[in-house]
Amino acid sequence: MRDLQTHAHISYWNQRGQRLSEEELCAAVRDADGVIAGTEKYTARVIGCAPQLQVISRVGSGTDSIDLSAVQKRGIRVCTTPKAVVQPVAEHTIALILSVLKGITVYDAAMRRKDHTVTAGTLLAGKTVGIIGLGRIGFRVATLLSAFGCSICFVDPAAVRDVPGAWQRAASVEALLENSDIVTLHAGPQADGSPVLSAERFRSVKRGIVIINTARGSLIDEDAMAAALKDGTVSGAGLDVFREEPYAGPLLAFPQVVATPHVASNTRESRGEMEREAVQNLLAVTREARR
């Protein structure tokens, strides 16, 4: 923040800790040359309300909250902070997996009701984990899970990095779903917004599978997931992202679903790093524009 105050005039600072509505965002960016962006949706209307805008610098790695067609037409630069989110999102993914397998949230709620009923948990060691998307975060998750003694399989047509020989590339998403005990999503949104885990694919998963999503809410057909949880096809899920947020839908009715409100990357350490990088990105673009 100090760097930003030194080199720029701050016209709006969101201190509410809540996502701005489209109307509020239009008012906030009206006179801006650059924006430090959170998870608000930068729609074509918002972009149109900011005639001077040169750069949107995201605190985070995703750009699906930004109308990329609108910014491209205007020549507005979009910057992200992809490195800082890797470790916190990977750790959050592991935390969700363990919470589901061990029933942590169910036990916690029961003990607060003075209910000390005990049921058997499940080991993570020895499980086959399917990873959809082997980018920076997916790779880190796979590395951590390997240390737990998991077998790793993955699908990612763009994955070109060297992977450990023990990790297996699945022939298709269907093959991965049929053979995995746990599936964790680390892919970007599909171009058409359709889910990777569709109703059809839920019909082909290994029965009792656990689903984890810390990537994008659009990757899962939530109605199909609810049906699969109800009939036992899916035994549990750990979800940090949803198609509509804040989420208040039917998946919260299932005690075997551990839900968090899109906070996987929100640690003190990573948040500070992302904010510093976002400021540096914004200042670099605006300085370049002045030359």
Confidence of residue 160 (pLDDT cuts 50, 70, 90): low
pLDDT of residue 123 exceeding 80: yes
Give residue 253's pLDDT band: very low, low, confident or very high (50, 70, 90).
very high
Instruction: Please give the pLDDT value at position 219.
Output: 98
**33 exposure class (CB count in 10 Å sphere: 0-12, 13-18, 19+):** middle
Class in CATH terms, 2-83+267-290 = alpha beta
Catalytic residues: 216, 245, 262
pLDDT category of residue 2 using cuts at 50, 70 and 90:
low
Tell me what the pLDDT averaged over the chain comes to. 93
Extended strands (E) in the chain: 34-37, 55-58, 77-79, 128-132, 151-155, 168-169, 182-185, 209-213, 234-239, 257-259
pLDDT at 213 over 80: yes
For 7-32, letters b (16+ CB in 10 Å) and e give: eeeeebeeeeeebbeeebbbebbeeb
pLDDT at 19: 81
Cβ(41)–Cβ(19) below 8 Å: no
Q: Where are the domains of the chain?
A: 2-83+267-290, 86-259
Q: Is the pLDDT of residue 14 over 80?
A: no
pLDDT at 112 (0 to 100): 97
> Which residue would you say has higher pLDDT here, 276 or 161?
276
* CATH T-level fold of 86-259: Rossmann fold (3.40.50)
86-259 and 2-83+267-290 share a CATH fold:
yes
Q: What percent of the chain has pLDDT over 90?
A: 83
Give me the pLDDT at residue 178, please: 97
The whole-angstrom separation of Cα 90 and Cα 77 is 28
Residue 217 CA to residue 69 CA, distance in Å, equals 21
Q: Which residue would you say has higher pLDDT here, 1 or 24? A: 24
Reported in sequence order, the residue ranges of 59-194 that DSSP labels E, i.e. its strands, are 77-79, 128-132, 151-155, 168-169, 182-185
